[in-house]
Amino acid sequence: MPAPLHIVTQGVVLRETETKESDKILTLLTPDRGKVSVIARGARRKSCKFAACAQPLAYSEWTLYQKGDWHYANDGSTIELFNGLRNDLEAMALGFYFAELTEGVTTEGTPAAELLRHLLNGLYALSALHKPPALVKAAFELKLLCLAGYEPLADSCAYCGCPEPEQPLLDVVQGVLRCRKCGARESTLSMPLCRDSLAALRHIIYGDPKRLYSFTLGPDALRRLSGAAEAFTVAQLERGFRTLDFYKSLQTVEMPSK
């Protein structure tokens, strides 16, 4: 019988499932193999040598071995645990959403180096850059969909060709920019933008990925960008996200004054 095939790769834990008494099944995002399901025996024991690597959102170097259709963890060493997330429940919840969203656009066996880099940058932005969570969330959502092949057309109005649309809206179903007066009959669902939120949208879509989070917005413009990014994500992927619901449940609710 041939010896198991050993593989060394880097990966982020997108999801964990507890199984048996002390094992986990991990979903890793790797640069060379895309999504990989890994059986991590004993990962729930404190004595496990790769227990830290088996945490959700941990980025580690793994030694795996393949036996039949399954991958098994043989060893692991952490590269980045994003401790800034683990001290902030809201940031952690948003990180889990980033992981679920990324898992939703990746497949097994397809290299995903660019998607992995985007996820790592998003987690770092939440953990260390101290950017507004709503800004990081919107930029992450839009750029991830661009990388996954859902890039919206935002250089001009899709109907009249105006580069600076009058009262701009993003049609989140068709994935195009339009003026309020253009394409109203054809539009299914459009989200309102403003000059600043449109500029931010274009920065995210067309700008340097290394400077993805290097912009600021006022409260109203950020609200518009956030609404458009989330609606575009849900419309294009045609599904909801459990982790997004949890993140929203943590948002501060302003109590009415007595």
pLDDT tens for residues 207-224? 999 999 999 999 999 999
CA 28 to CA 75: how far, in whole Å? 14
Amino acid at 170: L
The number of beta carbons lying within 10 Å of the beta carbon of residue 122 is 26
| Domains (range + CATH), the chain | 1-130 (2.40.50.140), 133-238 (no CATH)
Residue for token digits 């959403």?
97
pLDDT tens for residues 36-45? 999 999 888 8
Mean per-residue pLDDT, 47-63: 93
Nearest to 157 by CA among 181, 139, 138, 141: 181
Q: What's the pLDDT score for residue 257?
A: 43
Please check the confidence at residue 1 and state whether its pLDDT lies above 90: no
Residue 249, CA distances (Å) to 29, 109, 130 in order: 27, 35, 21
Local confidence band at 69 (pLDDT 50, 70, 90 cut-offs): confident
Mean per-residue pLDDT, 81-99: 94
Are 202 and 154 within 8 A, CB to CB?
yes
The number of beta carbons lying within 10 Å of the beta carbon of residue 245 is 11
Tokens (6 digits) for 165? 């649309």
Residue 3: CA atoms inside 13 Å, Cβ hemisphere, count? 3
CA 14 to CA 139: how far, in whole Å? 19
Please check the confidence at residue 183 and state whether its pLDDT lies above 90: no
Mean per-residue pLDDT, 85-99: 94
> What does the mean pLDDT of the chain come to?
92
pLDDT tens for residues 232-256? 999 999 999 999 999 999 986 443 4
pLDDT tens for residues 105-163? 999 889 999 999 999 999 999 999 988 999 999 999 999 999 999 999 999 999 999 99
The number of beta carbons lying within 10 Å of the beta carbon of residue 54 is 23
CA 164 to CA 96: how far, in whole Å? 36
Q: What's the pLDDT score for residue 86?
A: 86
Please check the confidence at residue 4 and state whether its pLDDT lies above 70: no
Q: What's the pLDDT score for residue 130?
A: 83
